[in-house]
Copies of this chain bind each other. A is one copy, B any other.
Amino acid sequence: MTGAKSLGEFELIDRFFSRPSSVAARSDVILGVGDDAALLCMPAGADLVAAVDTVVAGRHFPLDSDARSIGHRALAVNLSDIAAMGATPAWATLALTMPRADEQWLQGFADGLMALADAHGVALVGGDTTSGHLTVSIQIMGHVPRGTAMLRSGAREGDLLVVTGTLGDAGAGLALVTARMATDDRAASDHLIERFEYPIPRVQFGIAARGIANAAMDLSDGLVGDLPKLARASGLAAHVDVGRLPLSRAMQSLGWDDQARDWALAAGDDYELLLAVPPTRLDELSDAAHRLDLKLTAIGELRRGNGVHWTLDGRAFSAPAHGYDHFL
């Protein structure tokens, strides 16, 4: 017989992350946590979509972040990748490295992660816990009807560039939560911090945009980091009017104009979607966004050529040099 374990890895996963409500609700989970691997049933005629993203304490979120926010964000950044493909998320595995098995912390982390998983019907089907510096790596799997996924490479000349929601909020939220910026406007501050701590992946909109948009990607590294990837993958030049970048009412109310624009361009972490859509289909896409109470803003277009060209008030604009990159 094995000896008594204080909080072994299997027990950890079983205790904090196994929820009959989410796992049992998916009839396509033949076998979830508890064997060597999970067994999952793919729908017929679908492509499998898989992505992985890691968040590291002190690097992707402040060391003193609320455990619930860390759990939420770790899954949200992965759901956002699935959203960008127009796919339906289904299953996730969790690789959790943490200094020690603190039950209160784990409860908060699991609450944040599982609440978002439940909201999107995602089952946690595998996990691994190791001790070390707090690092959360989630792999998400989903599916999309064969051949219908939105790629970065699908944009065509003349397509409009549109973004969901508002940009820069997470950058402002991070500045506020780390006290690099301060304001007396509590409501605005709370909103922006919420946008950093609990980003909402645009999963439903991604699914709705499939078949309308020609290309899509999510904005994790900020426009200046991400837009060049879409332009390059599609072999086109992106032209963006910086004056059109959508700012939230909270952001506008603070009056941090130049800083707000820089956040919108380069801060990242907003997890909005960037899409390329033919002008003739913009109304259709806007209707889809409207039905989901989601703002949609055309910020530019794709033309023959390459690179990203920023303008402001009709003149060339020099954007911040780069978005977030882990080894810069």
Contacts and interface: CB of A to CB of B under 8 A. Distances in A.
Interface of A: 1-3, 5-10, 12, 30-31, 34-42, 44, 46-56, 59-60, 80-82, 84-85, 87, 91, 93-95, 97, 100-101, 125-133, 135, 137, 139-142, 144, 146, 149, 151-153, 216-218, 224-225, 228-229, 233, 307-308, 321-323, 325-328
Given A35-B217, A42-B48, A53 B128 contact: yes
Nearest to A140: B37
Contact of A100 (B217, B225, B327): B327
B48 A87 contact: no
Assembly of this chain: how many copies? 2
Given A9-B325, A39-B149, A50-B126, 8 more contacts: A5-B325, A8-B327, A36-B152, A39-B48, A44-B44, A52-B94, A54-B130, A130-B326
Contacts of A140: 37
B128 A35 contact: no
Contacts of A93: 50-52, 139
A6 B132 contact: no
A148 to B, nearest CB: 10
A56 B6 contact: no
A146 B40 CA distance: 10
B37 A130 contact: no
A251 B60 CA distance: 46
A36 to B, nearest CB: 4
